[in-house]
Amino acid sequence: MHQRSALRTRTVAFTATAGLAASVAIAAGAQAATPTDTTDLQEAVTVDGVLEHLQALQGIADANGGTRQAGTSGHVDSVYYMKDLLDAAGYETTIQPFSYQRQTLVSAEWGVPGETPYELDTDYYPMEGSGTANAAVTPVDLSLGDPAASTSGCEFDDFAGFTAGDIALLQRGACSFEQKALNAIDAGATGVIIFNQGNGGIDRTGMFYGTLGETVAEIPVISTTFDIGVALSETPGLTMLLDVEMLTEDVDTMNLLADTPTGRTDRTVVVGGHLDSVGEGPGINDNGSGTAAILETALQMAALGIEPENRVRFAFWSGEEDGLLGSEYYVSQLSKSELKGTSVNLNFDMVGSPNAVNFVYDGDGDAFGLSGPTGSDVVEDVFTSFFDAAGAPTTATAFDGRSDYLGFIEAGIPAGGLFTGAEGIKSEEEAALYGGTAGLAYDPCYHAACDTIDNVSTATLDIMSDAIAHATLTFADTTSAVSGTAKGKAKGHSKDLEFLGSHAVR
């Protein structure tokens, strides 16, 4: 009964310790909660069961042009696959429709007229906006020293002396790309080039993918590398051609919500992950893995007859790949009492990467200096305690706003979750700790057509599924509020964050 196939390699016999229960209680000023034994649920949530859902999602993508992107039939079929199973298990399901606009690149050209143009997706990438600019390139308030503490374009005064009609050359740093682009547009720029900041590793020097948030620019805005930006800034009298065409389309899509029929609604635990893929592939690791593990956890909770102390809302978001739009919409629709009644958000996005690291979100901020709302430290501790008990290592990952927890932490709701890596490169130290291959991406098929059922590590998915089951039941059954929700603070968490979905915003 504990092992449904040979793929099942471990079950961590783990009871939420008295110390952990006390930490939840202390954070909220309440009495210590009774420890939660999650062993039965962990044993019921097998990697075999999760893989069954991933096979179904792969089949759905295969039948729908190879994708499950928001707004496509592949996404609709994914939603109803999960909804049918959750309905049959006794959950109260809700379809939450919403709409937005998506820009898709049609064509792009950038370079010095008469010379070899720069290479799309290697040297530069369009953020947003369509149009043609053939004009002088004017640097704006750059900072090329060490450290490169750039505030380029963050203030309209940065454009003093800027000639209307020029292309603005801006440097990443300090404020959002949207703010920089809007200031450039107000100054009369016909195009905008934003180059990487230059202060750190590859993520601050190499190519990056940006978005302007809700702004749909009427001029072309592109991103490029630090080295290219420096070279442009040191070329006086430079004139460049920048020609970008974007297709804007209306997207109608939906979130799927599934509530336990019992449990305190004033302490709702939202367990979520995004169900949409990118248009380029089926998205089996990103994020079939997280949503399949969440689904199997929900089904096995029902099969075991678990009646949680607190209502659990299993959420399957859409529009994440276009900017966290489904989860942001969900939070925006909550009333003040519903915000107050949301105890915690657990987010699971990519939990089966083939060259994985066990990343846990840095809820207390001790690793990166950017913590979640009060109580997020407790969420982090639940996960790290679980992996410690399993004899497995963990590594902190920053609350950088790159996944669907963002809307929750902006609303003051404690959050946390797991992640096994995307396009980042595994270090020698990480390979020594976790195995795998140093110098290779955690997920070499990130946002690509090869993100198929063959792109998932069953060993990684196994322990991550156990951790998901454990954390879900731990927060479902705690009798203590997680600090940060007991007072119902529905205030905005600073949006000084670097990513929305898969794209940088600052």
**How far apart are the C-alpha atoms of 471 and 482, rounded to whole Å?**
13
Alpha-carbon Rg for the chain in angstroms: 23
Q: How many CB atoms sit inside 10 A of residue 95's CB? A: 11
**Nearest CA among 230, 169, 168 for reference residue 198:** 230
**How far apart are the C-alpha atoms of 12 and 356, rounded to whole Å?**
19
Q: b/e for 257-278, b at 16 or more Cβ within 10 A?
A: bbbbeebbebbbbbbbbbbbbb
Pairing of strands 124-128, 415-419: unpaired
Residue type, 182: L
CA distances from residue 390 to 305, 353, 386 in whole angstroms, order as listed = 26, 19, 6
Burial class (CB in 10 A: 0-12, 13-18, 19+), 444: middle
**Nearest CA among 339, 287, 297 for reference residue 91:** 297
Q: b/e for 150-161, b at 16 or more Cβ within 10 A?
A: bebbbeeebbee
The DSSP call for residue 403 is S
Find tokens 């499950």 and name the residue: 68
**How far apart are the C-alpha atoms of 451 and 457, rounded to whole Å?**
12
Peptide bond into 287 cis (omega under 30): yes
**How far apart are the C-alpha atoms of 341 and 269, rounded to whole Å?**
9
**How far apart are the C-alpha atoms of 171 and 430, rounded to whole Å?**
31
In degrees, rounded to 5, the angle at the alpha carbon of residue 121 between the alpha carbons of residues 116 and 123 is 50
The DSSP call for residue 162 is P
Structural tokens at position 292? 């399949």
Q: What 3-state class would DSSP assign to 493?
A: coil
**How far apart are the C-alpha atoms of 160 and 322, rounded to whole Å?**
34
Active site annotation includes 320: yes
**Nearest CA among 431, 423, 370 for reference residue 395:** 431
User: Cβ distance 454 to 461 under 8 Å?
Assistant: no
User: Cβ distance 484 to 374 under 8 Å?
Assistant: yes
First and final CA of the chain: distance in angstroms? 50
- Could you tell me what percentage of the chain is helix, strand and coil, using 3-state DSSP and rounding each to the nearest 5? 30, 25, 45
Burial class (CB in 10 A: 0-12, 13-18, 19+), 283: buried
Catalytic residue (one of 43, 128, 178, 320)? 320
Which residues participate in catalysis according to the annotation? Answer: 320
